[in-house]
Structure 1
C-alpha cells in the first residue's frame, strides 16, 4: 500500500475476525502520526488477548465499548475525546456486529428478542456512536485545507455491511442463509449510511458502506472462500481510493458497487 491512512482511526469490534485484522494491518501501514483506537466489549479476559498482543504504546489504544449499551458508548467517546486532543477523528470503521440466532437462522428459529438484539447492536449502536463522535469528525474535516474534497484520511465513516443486505440480490442467497435479523439490520445500516452521507456532506465527511466478502471468521464459518488477510487488504485499498463520488454507496472489498 503506497499511500497511507493518517490521523486518528477508530475501529469497533476489534478483538476478533475482520476487526482484529483491520487493527493489525492498519498498525503496519499507517503513517507515523496516526493512532488507532481499537474497541471491543471486554478489554480484559481471553477474548481480547489477541488484540492485546497487537497493542503498541503510542500507536494502538484499547477502548472498552459495548454498542448495545448507551452508557458504554458515551464513556468510550469521552475516553477517546480526551486522548485525541485537537486532532479530531479522521476515520471511524463501524465493524462490530452480531448475528442471532446462528446461521442459517430460519424463520422458525427466529424470535422477537433475536431481532431486537441484532438491531440494537448493528444499527442503533452505530447510530449513537456516530452521533456522539460527530464533533470529532467535524473537527478533523475542518482542519484539512482541501476544500470540499472528501477522503478517509480527512474525515470519514466506513460501515461494514454485507452483500446479503442487498434487497435486489436477496433471491440469490436467501435459500442458503435466511438470517432475518442480520439481513434486515444490515439493510437498515445501509439506509443509515445514506442518511448520514446526505447530512454530513455539508461538513465534508465521507460516509460509505463496504462489504468485506464472505470471510473465514467465527461468523463467516470455515467454508468461506476469503481469508481475513485478503479481505482487509482489499478493503483498506478501497478506503484509500474513496472520494466524494463514493459517499452514500455500498461497495464490496474490491471496490465494485452493490445494488441496494
Structure 2
C-alpha cells in the first residue's frame, strides 16, 4: 500500500469493498492527504459505517455521489474541486457497481440498461468530469517520472466474468448477462481512456478484486473483503506505465480480454 499519496477519490464507499478500500487507505502508514469517499446517500442508514470511519480519520471526506446520475457527478466534482490542494486528484478508483443476477430468461431491457448506466456510463462520466484534476496532478508531479498512482491514475473495478476468452470457463457458475456484458464494456472503456489519457501521463487500468464475500459477492465467496482490498492496494501502488490499458487481478496477475 506504500506509495499511494496525494488526493484519492473512491466511489461506492458506503459498504463492502469501497468501504474497506477507504479504511485501509486511511489506516496505512503513509495515508493519502485526502480521501474523498463517494456514496449515494451520505446521511442514510447504509452509510453509518462510513460516517463512523470518517469521524476517526480527518482526511476522509464523505461526498454525495450517485454514479448513475450525471447531475450528481457534476455536483460532486464542484464540491471536491475547491478542496483539492493545487487542484490535483492523484487517484480515482471507480469502484461503484451493481449486479442484477439474471439468466437470459430473467433479463429484459430495464435490467440491461440499469446495470450499464451504473457500470459503464457512470465511470465514463466520472473520468470525463474529473479529468481536469487528473491532468493537473500529472502535470504538476515533478518528483515522479512515468505513470503511477502517486502521479495520476484511474482504476476501474472490473471482474474475471468480463473476460470473453474465459467465458466458457465461468458462464455456468454465473450466467449473469447484464453484469458480464457491462463489465466487458467497462474493459473497452478502460482501453479507450488509457489511449486517450496517455498523452497526459495518466495511467488507466482495470482491476479484478476476486470473488469477494460482500453483499454483491454473496456468502459463498472464498475471499474476505479485507484481503481483497489489501491485495488491490498493493497492486495499485506498484503500477507503472507498462500496466496502463491492462486488466489485472488483485494479486497482480494478468486476465485475458
- Report the alpha carbon displacement of residue 31 of structure 1 after superposing the two structures with TM: 2.8
Using the size of structure 2 for normalisation, the TM-score is 0.97
Tell me how far 1:45 sits from its aligned partner.
1.5
Task: Give 1:146 shift.
Answer: 4.9
For residues 70-81 of structure 1, the aligned pairs below 5 Å read 70-81=70-81
After superposition, residues 190-229 of structure 1 pair within 5 angstroms as 190-229=187-226
- What CA distance in whole angstroms lies between the structure 1 residues aligned with 2:5 and 2:140? 13
Listed as ranges, the gaps of 5+ residues in structure 1 are none
Q: 1:12 maps to which residue? A: 11
In the alignment of these two chains, the number of paired residues is: 256
What's 2:97 paired with? 97
Q: What is the DSSP-based 3-state SS (H/G/I as helix, E as strand, rest coil) of the residue aligned with 1:99? A: coil
Task: Show the counterpart of 2:46.
Answer: 47
CA contact (8 A) 2:206 2:248 kept: yes
Residue 118 of structure 1: SS of its match in structure 2?
helix
TM-align CA RMSD: 1.3
Question: What is the correspondence of 1:57-68 to structure 2 with a 5 Å cutoff?
Answer: 58-68=58-68
| Residue pair 1:6, 1:30 contacting (<8 A) in 2 also | no
TM norm structure 1: 0.96
For 1:33 and 1:194, the matched residues in 2 are separated by 27
Q: Distance in 2 between matches of 1:217 and 1:185?
A: 20
SS of the residue 2:37 aligns to: strand
1:116 pairs with 2:74: no
Number of the residue aligned with 2:229: 232
Do 2:25 and 2:31's aligned partners in 1 also have CA atoms closer than 8 Å? Answer: no
Q: Distance in 2 between matches of 1:32 and 1:21?
A: 14
Q: Which runs of 5+ in 2 are unaligned?
A: none
Q: Secondary structure at the residue paired with 2:27? A: helix
Q: Is the 8 Å Cα contact of residues 207 and 249 (structure 2) preserved in structure 1?
A: yes
Separation in structure 1 between the aligned mates of residue 44 and residue 223 of structure 2, nearest angstrom = 28
Spell out structure 1 runs of 4+ moving beyond 4 A. Answer: none
2:10·2:22 contact (CA, 8 Å) conserved in 1? yes
Where 1:218 maps in the other structure, the secondary structure is coil
In 2: Cα distance, 1:234 partner to 1:15 partner: 20
Report the alpha carbon displacement of residue 58 of structure 1 after superposing the two structures with TM. Answer: 3.2
Q: Is the partner of 1:97 in helix, strand or coil?
A: coil
Matched, 1:135 2:136: no
CA contact (8 A) 1:8 1:87 kept: no
Distance 2:29 2:72 in 1: 28
- Give the equivalent residue in structure 1 for 2:25: 26
My pick for the range that moved more, 55-64 or 135-144, is: 55-64
Q: CA deviation at 1:32?
A: 5.6
Alpha-carbon offset, residue 85 of structure 1: 3.8
